[in-house]
Amino acid sequence: NAGVTQTPKFRILKIGQSMTLQCTQDMNHNYMYWYRQDPGMGLKLIYYSVGAGITDKGEVPNGYNVSRSTTEDFPLRLELAAPSQTSVYFCASSRPHEKDEQFFGPGTRLTVL
Amino acid sequence: DQQVKQNSPSLSVQEGRISILNCDYTNSMFDYFLWYKKYPAEGPTFLISISSIKDKNEDGRFTVFLNKSAKHLSLHIVPSQPGDSAVYFCAASGNSGGSNYKLTFGKGTLLTVNP
């Protein structure tokens, strides 16, 4: 099992550009999440999904969009990138009805200049 | 408004001694608490958790204590090892025993274990 994989590892964007952060998990988890971590801060939930076709906003959804067409994939879309979106982005997944452990990917470090 | 607080940004201990990491929370609806460990350039990994119906949970060298009346939990690592050097995040949720989809994280504490 590869677990949760994220691509790319690093990316630099110009203000106003858009991009998609990819996330894939091979554990057949129903639940998937996107977090961002700013320097010196904890992780903040951007969006989450409880299954294919179902997504919902987290704490900081503005400027982002998600889709969940399959159980495995949960891409995060940034439209009109802004410097405030400079952060490290983590994707995670979990099975419901277990001990609430979330499995995290290695992260994508995004810089918007 | 920070609902999960880790007031010590860093902690340094000697190898073999006890490491105690603290976490406070303000939301009385939280009933499940987790600790995650994070190495540089990696994602967080789950370490240990505790439900609000317990006051202690132990897993090898790691023990988490929960004081509900004080809204305080702590992670004890005994004995500390250099490989334990990492950032430790405290997290809380309000869906104990069921599907958790909203974890609230603290800012983390950087633990350094000196050989």
* Nearest Cβ partner for B43 among A42, A45, A106: A106
Instruction: Tell me which chain B residue has its CA closest to the CA of residue A100.
Output: B100
Cα separation of A74 and A57, whole Å? Answer: 14
Asked if residue B76 has pLDDT above 60, the reply is yes
List, for chain A, all residue ranges whose pLDDT scores fall below the cut of 70. 97-100
Instruction: Tell me which chain A residue has its CA closest to the CA of residue B39.
Output: A106
A106 vs B contacts (CB less than 8 Å): 41-43
The pLDDT value given to residue B99: 47
Count H helices, E strands: chain A?
A: 0, 11
Confidence of residue B111 (pLDDT cuts 50, 70, 90): very high
Question: Which residues neighbour B16 within 8 Å (Cβ) at sequence distance 6 or greater?
Answer: B79, B80
Contact A47, A64 (CB under 8 A): yes
The pLDDT value given to residue B106: 95
Confidence of residue B82 (pLDDT cuts 50, 70, 90): very high
Contact A4 B43 (CB under 8 A): yes
Q: Is A90 an 8 Å CB contact of chain B?
A: yes
- Residue written as tokens 């590869």? A2
The pLDDT value given to residue A2: 83
Asked if residue B98 has pLDDT above 80, the reply is no
Give the pairing type, strands B72-77 and B19-25: antiparallel
The pLDDT value given to residue A97: 64
Asked if residue B34 has pLDDT above 50, the reply is yes
A29 vs B contacts (CB less than 8 Å): none
The pLDDT value given to residue B93: 86
* d(CA B12, nearest CA chain A) in Å: 18
A33 vs B contacts (CB less than 8 Å): 101
Summary mean pLDDT of chain B: 92
Calculate mean pLDDT across residues B32-47: 94
B106 vs A contacts (CB less than 8 Å): 42
